[in-house]
Amino acid sequence: MTTNEQGLSGERADILALLGKRRDFLRHTAQGLTDEQANTRSTVSALTVGGLIKHVTAVELNWADFAQTGGSKSDGPTEFTPEMIVAWENQFRLVEGETLAGVLADYEKVAAATDELVRTLDLDARYELPAAPWQPPGVFWSVRQVFLHLAAETAQHAGHADIIREAIDGQKTMG
């Protein structure tokens, strides 16, 4: 059992430790990068280190809202405009006016807010997931599952960022 700096123990401390470690891996991939390097596509993918941090921030913000409110029950768009597609693509790179320092600062704010939710929300509260092509209707997740999913999502994207970073300058998070 983990006890954290706020004196929490048990599963809340464990979830905070899990999220914290995965976030540290992601942030580590950006250490020492210039804005240009953070926006470099170093693999065949369109992903960049800065863009992944920006994306994970947005994803965490959305899941945190879901954990608090149960999310929006309205259906998403059925058609995607060119502007919507550009906005989607732009979440995976730094756009004009964005800096690595800025997206990291945004990430810290969102992470701190999520951590407060881990400390305070009812982990057993359950909400129906929004409609999506990859899941059948009627799937419910507990708030606990949401936080565990956030850790998994962050870990996956930290791995992506690590590969991108290694291709830029050889730095690896692990190994």
What are the structural domain ranges in the chain?
11-169
Among 34, 61, 74, 63, residue whose Cα is nearest residue 50: 34
Contacts of residues 40-43 at CB distance under 8 Å and 24 or more positions apart, as own/partner, are 40/164, 40/168, 41/93, 41/164, 42/164, 42/165, 42/167, 42/168, 43/163, 43/164, 43/167
Topology annotation, domain 11-169: Four Helix Bundle (Hemerythrin (Met), subunit A) (1.20.120)
CA–CA separation, 47 and 66 (whole Å): 26
Among 109, 126, 104, residue whose Cα is nearest residue 53: 104
At 74 the pLDDT is: 58
Tokens of 143: 């708030």
For 126-146, give the secondary structure using H, E and C: EEECCCECCECCCCEEEHHHH
At 2 the pLDDT is: 54
At 136 the pLDDT is: 84
In three-state secondary structure terms, 9 is strand
Reported in sequence order, the residue ranges of the chain that DSSP labels E, i.e. its strands, are: 126-128, 140-142
At 139 the pLDDT is: 92
Question: Can you tell me the mean pLDDT for 33-53?
Answer: 95
Q: For residue range 141-173, list pLDDT tens digits in order.
A: 999 999 999 999 999 999 999 999 999 999 887
pLDDT band at 71 (very low <50, low <70, confident <90, very high): confident
CA–CA separation, 49 and 39 (whole Å): 7
Residue 1 pLDDT > 80 = no
Q: For residue range 84-106, list pLDDT tens digits in order.
A: 888 888 989 999 999 999 999 99
At 77 the pLDDT is: 60
At 173 the pLDDT is: 79
Helix (H) or strand (E) segment spanning residue 88: helix 82-90
At 61 the pLDDT is: 96
Neighbours of 114 (CB within 10 A): 22
What is the model's pTM?
Answer: 0.89
Q: For residue range 114-140, list pLDDT tens digits in order.
A: 999 999 999 999 999 987 778 888 999
CA–CA separation, 13 and 136 (whole Å): 32
